[in-house]
Amino acid sequence: MPFLSIRQLVQRKLLNSVERCVDEALEGIVSSNGGLMLLRGQRVALRSDLHNLKGKVALISGGGSGHEPAHAGYIGRGMLSAAVAGAVFSSPPPGSILAAIMTLWQSGTSGVLLLVKNYTGDRLNFGLAVEKARALGVPVDMVVVADDCAFTTQLSKAGRRGLCGTVFIHKLAGALAEEGYPLDVIVAKVSKAVKNIGTLGVSLSACSVPGCLPTFQLLPGEMELGLGIHGEPGIKRSKMASADEVVKTMIDHMTDPSSQSHLPLKSGDRVILCVNNLGGLSCLEMAVVTRAAINYLMGQGVQVARVMSGTFMTSLEMAGMSLSLMRVDEEILRLFDSKTSAYAWPNHSSESLSGRNLYVEPTARPASAETKPEQGPFSSVARLALESICKALLQQKEELNALDRAAGDGDCGTTHALAATAIEEWMQTTTIPGRPSLLLTALAALVEEKMGGSSGALYSLFLTAAALNLREGCDGKHWAKAIQAGTEAMKRYGGAEPGDRTMLDALCPAVDELMKLSTASPGDHIAVLQAAVEKAELGAQSTCDLTAKAGRASYIASKRLTQPDPGAVAVAAILRAVFDTLKGTDHIKMEFACSHVVCNWRPESLAEGLFTTLPCGLSRKESEHPYDNRIAVIPRPIPPSTPPPVPPRRSTQKQTRPISMPPPIPPRGLEGKGQASIKANVNVVLLKVGSLVDINKASSIQSIQKPVHCGKCRAVMSSVSNSQTSTNTSTWSCEFCGNQNVLSQNELKMGRSPLWTPPGRDVLYVDEEIDTDYVNLEDMLVVFCVDISGSMSVTSEVSPGNSMRSPTYISRLQGVQEALQLALSSLLKSSPHRRVALVTFNDEVTVYGDGTGVPLSLRDWALVDYDHVREQGEKYTTPHCIAETFQCLTQRVKELREHGATALGPAALISVAMASQFAGSKVIICTDGQANIGLGQLEQESAASVYFYNQLASHAAEKGVIVSVMTFEGEDCSLADVGKLADHTGGRINRVNICTVGSEIQTALADNILATNVVATLLAPNGVYYPFEEDNHRLVREIGNVTNGMEITFQFAVKPDRAESFQRRDRVPFQLQLSFKTRDLKKVTRVITQQKRVTTSSWVWAGSLNMAVLGVHCAQLCARLTMEGRVQEAQHQLKAQQHLLKDISEQKPSPKEESIYGNWISTMSMICEDLNPDTKGNTGSTTVCEGRTLSTGLSDEAAKVVFQMKRVTSVGQREEKAALLES
């Protein structure tokens, strides 16, 4: 906290002067209450009707100020006669107390009783005044109230403190005095009552005496139990808890028989409850606490006779409260209920609270005029849209609250989140109505009840009015009328108009656009909605410059309103969510590089010396198709022929047009003019598999039925499938292979057909069987596989400012040790249940495991026995969690010493075998040299070593293990081969030094598997093939492990002999079948079916190209070809892509994309040139090993870049750009 001067501290309280604040406060109390007056020259407040005290006992209380309304607030008939105030939190001087006694005695009272809280200063000063008064012949006595229940033992002679229970004594003594009881009787009765009172407080913040710093400090999220009213320390501090939990803790502590200060309380006892605000608690919180206290006491069998809830004895501005309980009988209740004129005493009911019925049943709502809701085709679309809306509102909760704090009460986001949560819960238990009018009516009632506030009322008005216009139909015309009616209802009852800085500033422009639905064709509805969303977003942004004329914001100075109106922002977000759902961007992750399938491929002989574009396994054989992927580029014709407009390129959004709104196809016959061929294939599709495998975000599309497969190509029947139904059977002609599938009606009724879904949507099929028991992510294993060979002793200079320890020169192993210590500490803090094991390798492989047992060593013959090494890893004892093994592991890491050779292969094998016990486990390998001993040794070229790393990588991927590989810069570690362990499993591949190894390990620890055993099957109609992969219309690609953000691409082409038949088709279907296992080992298949238009016109595809998809595909494909040793083919693709990028950029420049993707092309081109400087010579330096190609000329630095290029994404990750720019 920044330093504040005394003056600044004073200014934080609304006072005139620190010195006079007590006197001015007393004057304020007395001047506002006609029954009070001040004793001149003293800080003493008195009853103004002293003549009514003749013959009765007068009552005096008091103490330090800062506890208001105590004690001046309790002066009046039936309570105190006078109150003496000291300075803030200081006892009043004896002279003032004596002056009060003498003033009351001289008024004709029969005696004076002092009621004092048990604090040392109060006892001393009030006691001294009593003795002086007695010496003057005044009949006076004193009762000390000690009701604190905080301390379980008697810590000092001071005894229990006097707290809010003192107010009970004020009332009882005042009632007795008013009835005329003598002094000794009153003393006896209230002394007995004091023993039946207990109080305990809890604080959420400190208080500060005017002109002073806070009396103590509480950390955020902490509370203190049992503190005194002056901020004295309590008995313990703990984390914040709920009101119910705090109240339970307090009452249990107050009544604990083992505590010397407890209040004896048993079932059946009657009590008066006082819930006292210590000064800074809101009335809302006080009401919640009061409810909790009443419920808990009644739950313990205690009868709550009366309740006081409010501000009775404070500690300045302290946020907190105290609970006071007083056991009572009928006599005490009678005195408690007696009348008083004290202004601070509550006017409570005299009825007992126990056993009361709190609720009255509401009258039944009138039945709806419409029929019972039933599910229909509209239901699935509505569910998707509602889920998208709820997701958007929950994500923007804090943003909307922040915007609302400047203009309102800061709860706009919370209010919308309440509505979103209510809708989500409603959808889980309710059938979504198949009629829009029923759905809007149901939503209107829901937001009215759950959302509340003015926003709830406005949304309910809109939905109710809109529903009325959808009863007769739900086409575009009816939707337009409904939306307009809803908006008019909001304006009529809300009193706002566009321009008043409200949600209407976003809604009204959108409604004006949506009115076009009444005349637009169904194919144009998405375009109308898109335009409406854009108008809404512009309208929301325009509220920054508007003056509020309605709502809470209208009471705020306009110069303070510089951000958009939160209601308008929320409306724009809702419309955007609906648009994204209907357009399909939220669920369809098949992103095509072109809006159409380009099918005019020209047969042409292959360039001399180049391989065919067939799968790797077939590329050495003669192809039946003497063509490559060439397309026709047709220049724009010269006027008067006017071509259709090319869709504008928008760098901030996806460049493909909506499926339902393809660019117009030009007249046939123009394609033959001015043809020029290039080799870049624009038929590319990108899959965001990192999103597709996250089934938590796709629960709405899960089908409870099973998929129906084509008997020939295994396509799944979907919404684009056509079937003919007879009496007993249904015949489905597969849209991909043409096979006639005959299905019985019984099969369809048994739930073997998918639910109806709109074209282009996807369906999630979850197998009910699970392989093994669920394994929590926290239980997975992390294996650090560390090189401790002799080369790890090489030292490097560390700059003086580096965080690592001295000396200035440290070895690679020291850098790794430092990095491992940090990683272990981080895991202990963030994931204490995570299991961690250590494996090291040099001449031998040593398995330390979790560091608690005897290490296992493998050496000599064991290093070349694959089965033996794997068995040792699989049966190794499962490590304990890091919380239990941290000390042992850190000690093992400190003891590591470098020497010997590099048995990397066996170490990697045993590490993977250990990690394979838990799906999602990780192996992090850190090495600085080539494997030169045991399995997988790489110093000499060997087909067996290549096979070893490929086999190990496949095994790790199958078991769901992520392997990350990091090698030290300046050394040749054959990363092109070892890196396959990470490449196949989704792990990280990088080159490090002693300064960066720590951050690289931390990054590797943060990558978690989303799914394992991922297999992607892509189907297209007969006549399509997949260059470089499959000469068939069905492609199956094994992906393995998938981590967050992962993207893959496919390219396809139309065979020349089928091009003419494709051109006669308006649309062709594509289907993705993504099979995988989730983290909880569920077997899942996600099926996405989508249709694409067909074209032969370069006007169409050139105007809709998505360079992001093409750039990612080019990088991934060329990197894959390079790693397979097919360098010339990679170069051919790079040149074709470079020409395409140049041609497109001339027509529609996009500097950002050109820079990123052009950089990727340049990077890969340089690597390929280094590998194959003579592009016209032989096929490069390659070694063929059992159908696989080993690149022998790829340096570790180049291999790192190539591996990273295989994983580039359209997102443009920062580290990818940095690495590629550096290379």
Per the annotation, binding residues for substrate are: 64-67, 117, 122
Report d(CA 820, CA 1085) in Å as an integer.
39
Q: Quick one: three-class SS letters along 451-483?
A: CCHHHHHHHHHHHHHHHHCCCCCCCHHHHHHHH
Residue 1148, token pair as written in the block: 């529609």
The 8 Å CB, 24+ separation contacts for 795-800 are 796/993, 796/994, 798/994, 798/995
Query: Which residues are within 8 A (CB) of 216 and not within 5 positions of it... i.e. 6 or more apart?
Result: 206, 224, 231, 233
> Across the strands, what pairs with 786?
840, 926
Give yes or no for a contact between 348 and 308, defined as CB atoms under 8 angstroms apart.
yes
**Residue in the structure block whose two tokens are 């999103």:** 691
Residue 1052 has φ and ψ, to the nearest 5°, of: -135, 165
Catalytic residue among 230, 253, 416, 1113: 230
List phi, psi (to 5°) of 755.
-65, 155
Residue 798 burial (CB count, 10 A)? 19
Please state whether the peptide bond connecting residue 264 to the residue before it is cis, i.e. omega within 30 degrees of 0.
no
Residue 549 to residue 555: CA distance in whole angstroms: 8
Rounded to whole angstroms, how far apart are CA atoms 749 and 745?
6
Helices 397-405 + 412-429 axis angle, to 10 = 150
The phi and psi torsions of 1065 (rounded to 5 degrees) equal -95, 140
Q: What CA–CA distances, in Å, run from 324 to 302, 332, 340, 1186?
A: 14, 15, 21, 85
Tokens encoding 1121:
């070809």
Structural contact between residues 610 and 1129, judged by C-beta atoms closer than 8 angstroms: yes
Eight-state DSSP code of residue 45: E
Query: Rounded to 5, what percent of the chain is helix, strand, coil?
Result: 40, 20, 40
Per-position DSSP letters for 1180-1192, written without gaps between them? -SEEEETTEEEES
Q: Which residues contact 983 (CB under 8 A, 6 or more apart)?
A: 953, 989, 1123, 1203, 1206
**DSSP one-letter string for 774-836:** ---GGG-EEEEEEE-SGGGG-EEE--TT-SSPS-SEEEHHHHHHHHHHHHHHHHHHH-TT-EE
| CA-based nearest residue to 699, from 1079, 388, 416 | 388
3-state secondary structure of 733: strand
Whole-number Å distance between alpha carbons of 148 and 163: 6
d(CA 54, CA 57): 8
Task: Establish whether 868 is a catalytic residue.
Answer: no
Q: Are 1101 and 596 in contact (CB under 8 A)?
A: yes
Q: Which residues sit in the known binding site?
A: 64-67, 117, 122
- Decide the pairing of beta strands 1067-1078 and 989-992: unpaired
The HSE-up count of residue 440 (CA atoms within 13 Å, CB side) is 22
596-598 and 1082-1095 beta bridge pairing: parallel
Contacts of 426 (CB under 8 A, 6+ apart): 442, 446
Both tokens assigned to 259: 């505590």
For the chain, state the CA radius of gyration.
40
Both structure tokens of 883:
């919380």
Catalytic residues: 230
